[in-house]
Amino acid sequence: MPALNLREKGAQNARFIRIGEQLHWLDDARYEEWDSVVLRTRPLGMDDPILADVYYGISSADELKGAKRYTAGDQTIGLIYWVDGRIGLISAAAGNPVYVIERKLHRSEALQLEQSLVTRGFDPGKVDGVIDAATRAAINSYLESTGLPYRYETPVITEQIYKSITQNPPHG
């Protein structure tokens, strides 16, 4: 599985989780022998305004894709709650903090997203297949136009947000 990219607010470098024969966790810890268990619990409440863009288009916790607890022996390494195929919420064993991880879009998907933003009247900057600050600002503006009451510093691109922007854009 490719690495999952985690960008923290204000961080210079992204952190990664790599899930394979060896588990590489956020704190650079590496686990040779690890396991994961599917959980039936769900993360933070659906009405949490901090995660409104993460939950965009999801009307109930039942629509979340699943959760896994990662362990090494008796030690809980952490939890990942999958919002959809692109977005996960990570919580450390103690429960705090919660990080958002996002799988990178393929270049063709990024181009389609940027072109759709332009068609909808939002400026993603240079249409080059790179999701940069200008693209995320345009996504933010789009989300505000749909009625989200908050503006996010760095919106995530869930499957629902991607579909909402790229499917059936207005024809001008």
What per-residue confidence (pLDDT) applies to 116? 96
Q: Are 30 and 113 in a shared domain?
A: no
Q: Are 114 and 159 in a shared domain?
A: yes
CA distance 12 to 73: 33
Rg (CA), the chain: 17
Average pLDDT of the residues in 40-46:
55
Average pLDDT of the residues in 99-106:
81
Please check whether residue 27 lies inside any domain of the structure: yes
What per-residue confidence (pLDDT) applies to 101? 76
Number of domains observed in the structure of the chain = 2
Q: Are 75 and 133 in a shared domain?
A: no
Range in 95-99, 110-114, 144-148 with the lowest mean pLDDT: 95-99
Tokens of 18: 């790599």
| pLDDT higher at 61 or 107 | 107
Question: pLDDT digits over 65-97, tens only?
Answer: 667 778 888 888 877 777 777 777 776 655 555
The whole-angstrom distance between residue 35's C-alpha and the CA centroid of its chain comes to 23
What per-residue confidence (pLDDT) applies to 39? 67
Q: Are 69 and 115 in a shared domain?
A: no
Q: Are 84 and 117 in a shared domain?
A: no
Please state whether the peptide bond connecting residue 97 to the residue before it is cis, i.e. omega within 30 degrees of 0.
yes
Q: Are 52 and 113 in a shared domain?
A: no
Please check whether residue 172 lies inside any domain of the structure: no
Q: Are 89 and 113 in a shared domain?
A: no
CA distance 90 to 93: 10
Q: Are 86 and 26 in a shared domain?
A: yes
Sheet-wide strand order for 15-19: 30-31, 23-24, 15-19, 4-6, 98-102, 87-92, 75-82, 66-72, 35-39
Residue 50 has pLDDT above 50, yes or no: yes
Please check whether residue 12 lies inside any domain of the structure: yes
Phi, psi of 138 (to 5 degrees): -65, -40
> Domain span at residue 151?
107-166
Average pLDDT of the residues in 30-50:
66
**Which residue has 């939950």 as its token pair?**
55
What per-residue confidence (pLDDT) applies to 90? 77
Of 51, 83, 102, the domain-final residue: 102
Average pLDDT of the residues in 2-28:
58
What per-residue confidence (pLDDT) applies to 118? 97
Instruction: Pinpoint the alpha helices (H) of the chain.
Output: 107-119, 133-145, 159-166
Q: Are 47 and 10 in a shared domain?
A: yes
Question: pLDDT digits over 148-168, tens only?
Answer: 766 666 778 888 889 999 997
